[in-house]
């Protein structure tokens, strides 16, 4: 220990004698170590850290899927079977994600959260910081208990941390609820990377899980009694002494009985269990691949820094050649000198690690201040600076010091004492040995730098190509505003009137050229795919419909579509190549019509006129839709997609509850944001207008990944 302390003191003196060298080396190492610390903190928060605020001991995710796709959700009736008949869990809870309109203190906003079983927080072991959590009494009768538990973050942000919030009324999706509790600050969600705002009982499903897509308020499906609608995730805590395999075995008789009783919905389904601190294996696998890529990149950056500092140490060793020779001549052992030089290298690395940690903390704050656009990433990035991250930085610093210091230290002690003591030039063999090491370090540095440059160049090329792509519509001077009237359970007639009034009032605002509505926002990351049957031909003969994220379909048996209002094509700057636009005469009582794009017409009617042909998106049951127009091709899901068949349906014949308002303006569209929000909310105060943004921002978000890769 005494020798080590001597080495540390001597090494510190030598470093402070050459402040310029020390500063350059420390900053170089700090950049590499800091980058690795930032990425590891992301990995720690996303993959390694247990669920924050949750007692994860014996906590399992329970999935109801098939052998081909085991990690699926369950319907409420299936969950009730598992909850009541299992023998391996002390408690089994269910939860589903929600997006809701929150009205409080004369302001409405969009929030996210969970609709959960009454035993949810009991199973998780989460105790309210204020008030109480939900219990089984809140979850007995549909619609009977409009209560909510809010997160600590929402409590601080929206209610100023006021303890009088307990019992305060709020409006969720237009209905009165009471706040009964505030959750602890540590608890975020049981989904890694997600931060929830509030939780309500499952029995409030009719309010908190309103109709979506083509449904309207009077068609609200009863998700509590539909066995085929799998919308609930499950999480349970094992009984003491029960293993994971035993718990899985206890669920097998339940799935087999369900398959016998309900073969149409439950045939061949199995129960799959994973530990809660490991997360969903599919999501975890995706995160692991991304983490591996990021760690590889920053690892290369650190290796470049090590090669750079190793070269600096070789140059510094030349200046210390006589000092080392004197110490060897006085009897110092070679390994003793190597240890001394390594101590100096490790000190450099520790200083670099300390500065790198500060840079990492600063970098994370910068990233948090400029988060990725909503929806661009599958999860909210989180960063955890805890003991594990500090330990990682310390170990990385020590290893870094050894990596860049060992070869120069070993080389420095291989000196000819006579020539060194006489200050004579290096011999030929000495020059060759030192030159070989320097050359190897330079080659490694150049090779690694070239690898990074090639990767960045590929991203830059992709970015340049994407920016050069014409999307097929004019995004300039267009403002978008989502109208989530499905949250308020509007009937079809109420929705029709609201859309009409919203378009009319916004169109009357100064500076507005044109206004329309669309179900699928171009490049917004969503798609609506239907089964395609062309009259007189073979095709999909059942009712196939897929909604959600993903690319537009290029299959010959399906067609991606969007529901639009009148004036959509002029508002978006999309030309009609042939035929006519939708008009007021295309009502619910008139023959069904559709407009298709050029690719659809060329692919399905290459040698004949597409206008006047009929197709169905609902199998042979129809309705049969007549093609009345051919629109110019554009980009629908991504800028890089190939030419894709696409169709447009009139809103007057195909009611949808989640339309987006499109406003073409005379100038800067963002300048109208406040006026548009006030105008729409004057029609419905309970409607949150979140994410009102220019269409150019949507277009830019589609390039986010390429920009980050190039950066």
Q: Give the Cα separation of 180 and 167 in Å (integer).
A: 6
Would residue 57 count as lying in a domain?
no
Q: Specify the pLDDT at position 711.
A: 53
**Which ranges of 593-703 does DSSP label H, i.e. alpha helix?**
598-604, 673-683, 695-701
Average pLDDT over residues 273-296: 77
- What's the pLDDT band for 420 if we cut at 50, 70, 90? very low
Q: Parallel, antiparallel, or unpaired: how do β-strands 545-549 and 526-531 relate?
A: antiparallel
Average pLDDT over residues 94-109: 88
Residue that is last in its domain, among 279, 299, 322 = 279
Boundaries of domain holding 435: 2-49+285-465
The answer to whether residues 524 and 665 belong to one domain is yes
**Which ranges of 370-480 does DSSP label H, i.e. alpha helix?**
387-412, 417-421, 428-468
Q: Specify the pLDDT at position 411.
A: 60
Q: Specify the pLDDT at position 645.
A: 93
The residues that bridge with 527 in the sheet, in sequence order, are 548
The answer to whether residues 12 and 98 belong to one domain is no
Q: Is the model more confident about 81 or about 219?
A: 81
Summarised one tens digit per residue, pLDDT across range 331-351 is 555 566 667 767 777 888 888
The answer to whether residues 307 and 361 belong to one domain is yes
The answer to whether residues 202 and 275 belong to one domain is yes
The answer to whether residues 460 and 519 belong to one domain is no
Would residue 63 count as lying in a domain?
no
Q: Is the model more confident about 367 or about 259?
A: 259
Residue 137 has pLDDT above 80, yes or no: yes
Residue that is last in its domain, among 256, 279, 302 = 279
Q: How far is CA 490 from CA 238, 561, 658, 687, in A?
A: 42, 23, 11, 11
**Mean pLDDT score of the chain:** 82
Residue that is last in its domain, among 444, 465, 486 = 465
The answer to whether residues 154 and 267 belong to one domain is yes
Q: Specify the pLDDT at position 673.
A: 93
Q: Specify the pLDDT at position 248.
A: 92
| The overall pTM is greater than 0.95 | no
Would residue 65 count as lying in a domain?
no
Would residue 471 count as lying in a domain?
no
Q: Parallel, antiparallel, or unpaired: how do β-strands 169-172 and 198-201 relate?
A: unpaired
Q: Specify the pLDDT at position 597.
A: 95
Summarised one tens digit per residue, pLDDT across range 138-185 is 999 998 999 999 999 999 999 999 999 999 999 999 899 999 999 999
Q: What value, to the nearest 5°, has the Cα angle with vertex 77 and ends 73 and 78?
A: 45
Would residue 472 count as lying in a domain?
no
Q: Specify the pLDDT at position 256.
A: 93
Q: Specify the pLDDT at position 124.
A: 95
Which stretch of 2-11, 86-95, 542-551 has the lowest confidence by average pLDDT? Answer: 542-551
The three-class DSSP label of residue 88 is: coil
Q: Within a 13 Å sphere around the CA of 53, how many CA atoms are in the beta-carbon half?
A: 19
Q: Specify the pLDDT at position 43.
A: 79
| 219 within 8 A of 175, measured Cβ to Cβ | no
In the chain, what percentage of residues exceed pLDDT 90? 41
The answer to whether residues 166 and 215 belong to one domain is yes
Would residue 470 count as lying in a domain?
no
The answer to whether residues 130 and 163 belong to one domain is yes
Average pLDDT over residues 568-590: 93
The answer to whether residues 153 and 204 belong to one domain is yes
Which stretch of 26-30, 232-236, 295-299, 323-327 has the lowest confidence by average pLDDT? Answer: 323-327
As given in the structure block, the two tokens for residue 385 are 């600076």
Q: Specify the pLDDT at position 408.
A: 64
Q: Specify the pLDDT at position 83.
A: 95
Q: Is the model more confident about 495 or about 462?
A: 495
The answer to whether residues 195 and 319 belong to one domain is no
Q: Is the model more confident about 208 or about 191?
A: 208
- Count the domains in the chain: 3
Would residue 62 count as lying in a domain?
no
The answer to whether residues 124 and 221 belong to one domain is yes
Provide the strand spans (E) within 476-601.
Answer: 478-484, 512-518, 526-531, 533-534, 545-549, 558-564, 576-579, 593-597
Task: Please give the full DSSP string across 355-366, using - where no structure is assigned.
Answer: HHHHHHHHHHHH
- What's the pLDDT band for 421 if we cut at 50, 70, 90? very low
The answer to whether residues 20 and 107 belong to one domain is no
CA 289 to centroid of chain Cα atoms: 14
- What's the pLDDT band for 417 if we cut at 50, 70, 90? very low
Which helix (H) or strand (E) covers residue 64, if one does?
strand 59-65
Average pLDDT over residues 218-225: 70
Summarised one tens digit per residue, pLDDT across range 608-638 is 999 999 999 888 888 999 999 999 999 888 7
Q: Specify the pLDDT at position 235.
A: 95
Would residue 176 count as lying in a domain?
yes
Q: Is the model more confident about 416 or about 305?
A: 305
Average pLDDT over residues 248-272: 92
Average pLDDT over residues 461-466: 61
First-to-last C-alpha distance (Å) of the chain = 46
């Amino acid at each position: 220990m005494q020798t080590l302390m001597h080495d540390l003191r001597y090494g510190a003196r030598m470093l402070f004698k050459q402040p310029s060298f020390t500063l350059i080396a420390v900053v170089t190492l700090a950049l590499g170590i800091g980058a690795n610390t930032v990425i590891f903190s992301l990995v720690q928060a996303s993959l390694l850290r247990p669920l924050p605020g949750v007692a994860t001991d014996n906590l399992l995710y329970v999935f109801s899927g098939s052998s081909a796709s085991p990690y699926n959700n369950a319907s409420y009736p299936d969950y009730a079977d598992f909850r009541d008949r299992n023998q391996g869990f002390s408690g089994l809870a269910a939860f589903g994600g929600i997006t809701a309109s929150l009205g409080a203190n004369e302001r409405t906003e969009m929030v996210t959260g969970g609709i959960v079983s009454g035993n949810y927080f009991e199973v998780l072991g989460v105790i309210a910081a204020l008030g109480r959590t939900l219990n089984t009494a809140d979850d007995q009768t549909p619609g009977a208990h409009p209560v909510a538990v809010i997160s600590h973050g929402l409590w601080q942000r929206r209610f100023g941390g006021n303890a009088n919030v307990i019992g305060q009324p709020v409006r969720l999706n237009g209905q009165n609820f009471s706040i009964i509790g505030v959750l602890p600050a540590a608890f975020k969600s049981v989904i890694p990377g997600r931060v929830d705002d509030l939780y309500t009982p499952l029995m409030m499903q009719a309010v908190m899980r309103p109709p979506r897509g083509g449904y309207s308020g009077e068609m609200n499906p009863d998700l509590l009694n539909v066995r085929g609608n799998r919308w609930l995730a499950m999480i349970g805590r094992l009984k003491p002494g029960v293993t994971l395999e035993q718990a899985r075995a206890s669920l097998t008789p339940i799935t087999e009985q369900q398959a016998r009783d309900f073969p149409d919905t439950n045939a061949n389904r199995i129960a799959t269990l994973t530990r809660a601190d490991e997360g969903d294996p599919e999501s975890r696998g995706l995160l692991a691949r991304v983490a591996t890529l990021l760690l590889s990149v920053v690892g290369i950056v650190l290796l470049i820094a090590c090669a750079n500092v190793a070269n600096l140490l070789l140059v510094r060793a030349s200046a210390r050649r006589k000092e080392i020779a004197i110490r060897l001549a006085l009897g110092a052992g070679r390994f003793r000198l190597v240890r001394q030089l390594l101590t100096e290298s490790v000190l450099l690395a520790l200083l670099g690690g300390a500065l790198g940690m500060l840079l990492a903390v600063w970098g994370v704050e910068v990233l948090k201040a400029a988060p990725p656009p909503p929806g661009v990433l599958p999860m909210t990035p989180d960063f955890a600076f805890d003991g594990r991250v500090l330990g990682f930085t310390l170990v990385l610093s020590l290893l870094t010091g050894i990596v860049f210091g060992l070869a120069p230290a070993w080389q420095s002690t291989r000196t000819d004492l006579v020539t060194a003591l006489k200050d004579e030039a290096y011999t030929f063999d000495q020059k060759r040995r030192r030159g070989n090491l320097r050359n190897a370090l330079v080659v490694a540095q150049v090779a690694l730098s070239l690898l990074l440059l090639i990767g960045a160049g590929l991203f830059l090329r992709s970015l340049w190509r994407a920016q050069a792509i014409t999307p097929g519509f004019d995004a300039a001077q267009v403002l978008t505003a989502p109208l989530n009237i499905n949250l308020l359970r509007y009937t079809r007639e109420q929705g029709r009137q609201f859309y009409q009034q919203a378009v009319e009032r916004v169109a009357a605002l100064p500076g507005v050229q044109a206004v329309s509505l669309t179900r699928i926002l171009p490049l917004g990351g969503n798609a609506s795919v239907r089964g395609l049957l062309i009259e007189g031909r073979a095709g999909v003969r059942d009712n196939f419909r897929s909604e959600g994220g993903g690319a537009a379909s290029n299959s010959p048996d399906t067609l991606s579509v969007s529901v639009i209002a009148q004036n959509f094509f002029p508002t978006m700057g999309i030309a009609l190549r042939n035929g006519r636009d939708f008009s007021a005469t295309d009502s619910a009582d008139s023959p069904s019509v559709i407009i298709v794009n050029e690719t659809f017409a060329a692919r399905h009617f290459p040698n004949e006129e597409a206008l006047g042909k009929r197709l169905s998106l609902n199998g042979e049951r129809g309705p049969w839709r007549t093609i009345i127009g051919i629109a110019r091709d554009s980009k629908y899901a991504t800028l890089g997609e190939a030419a894709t068949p696409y169709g447009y349906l009139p809103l007057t014949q195909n009611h949808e509850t989640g339309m987006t308002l499109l406003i073409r303006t005379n100038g800067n569209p963002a300048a109208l944001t406040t006026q548009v929000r006030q105008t729409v909310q004057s029609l419905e105060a309970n409607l949150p207008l979140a994410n009102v943004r220019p269409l150019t921002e949507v277009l830019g978000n589609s390039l986010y990944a390429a920009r980050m890769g190039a950066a």
